Chain A
Amino acid sequence: MINIRNFCIIAHIDHGKSTIADCLLETTATVSFREAKAQLLDDLDLERERGITIKSHAIQMKYTAKDNLNYILNLIDTPGHVDFSYEVSRSLAACEGALLVVDAAQGVEAQTISNLYLAIEAGLEIIPVLNKIDLPSAEIDKVKGQIIDLIGCRDSDIILASAKTKIGIEEILEAVVTKIRPPGGDPDAPLQALIFDSKFDAFRGAVAFIRVVNGTLRTKDKIRFFAIDKEFEAEEIGILGLKKIKCDELAAGNVGYLIAGVRDVHDAKVGDTVTHKKDPADKPLPGYKDVKPMVYSGLYPTDAEKFEDLRDALEKFRLNDSALIYQPETSAALGFGFRCGFLGLLHMEIVQERLYREYNQSIITTLPNVEYHVHKKNGVDIIVDNPAEMPSVGDIDSVEEPYVKAQIVCPSEYVGNIMKLSMDKRGTYKNISYIDPTRADLQFEFPLAEIIFDYFDKLKSTTRGYASFDYEYIGYRESDLVKLDILLNNEPVDALSMIVHRDNSYVWGQKVSSKLKELIPRQMFEINIQAAIGTKVISKAVVKALRKNVLAKCYGGDISRKRKLLEKQKEGKKRMKQVGNVEIPQEAFLAVLQIDK
Chain B
Amino acid sequence: MKDFKQEKTRVDQADRTIYNVKDRLDPAFLMDSGITPEIVNQISKEKNEPEWMRLFRLKSLKLYNEIPLPTWGPSLDELNMDQIVTYVRPKSTMKAKWSDVPDDIKETFERLGIPKAERKSLAGVGAQYDSEVVYHNVRAEVASKGVVYTDIESALTGPYSEMIRKHFMKLVPPSDHKFAALHGAVWSGGSFVYVPAGVTVEIPLQSYFRLNAPGAGQFEHTLIIVEEGAYLHFIEGCSAPRYYVANLHAGCVELYVGKNARLRYSTIENWSKNMYNLNTKRASVEEGGTVEWISGSFGSHISYLYPMSILKGKKARMEFTGITFAGEGQNLDTGAKVLHAAPDTTSHISTKSISRDGGNSTFRSVVTVTEKAEGSKSAVSCESLMLDSISRSDTIPVMDISCNQADIGHEAKIGRISESAIFYLMSRGLSEDDARALIVGGFAEPIAKELPLEYAVEMNNLIHLEMKGSIG
User: Do A and B come from the same complex?
Assistant: no
